[in-house]
Amino acid sequence: MAKSKAMKLREKQLREGNRDVSKSRGTWCDIKPISRMTKTKQATLEKYEKKHKRNQSQDRYENGSFFIFCYI
């Protein structure tokens, strides 16, 4: 592979006696450089199904009545 412009510039600076900028880079600490996969469609649907089941409990509609407000 070809060298990038930045890599060529870093090597030139090293040859000329300037400091090595790659040594001043930060550490990864707790970041793990792995590729993350997105959720599948099935997993996303299951998540929303559980979420809405939790919010709409059946206790509120025990007698079968409900209220619909419509403004025309």
Domain ranges of the chain: 5-60
Task: Find all residues with CB under 8 Å of 47, minimum gap 6, and list them.
Answer: 39
pLDDT lower than 70: segments of the chain: 52, 54-69, 72
Record the pTM: 0.36
Q: So what's the pLDDT on residue 63?
A: 59
**Residue 22 and residue 10 in contact, taking contact as beta carbons nearer than 8 Å:** yes
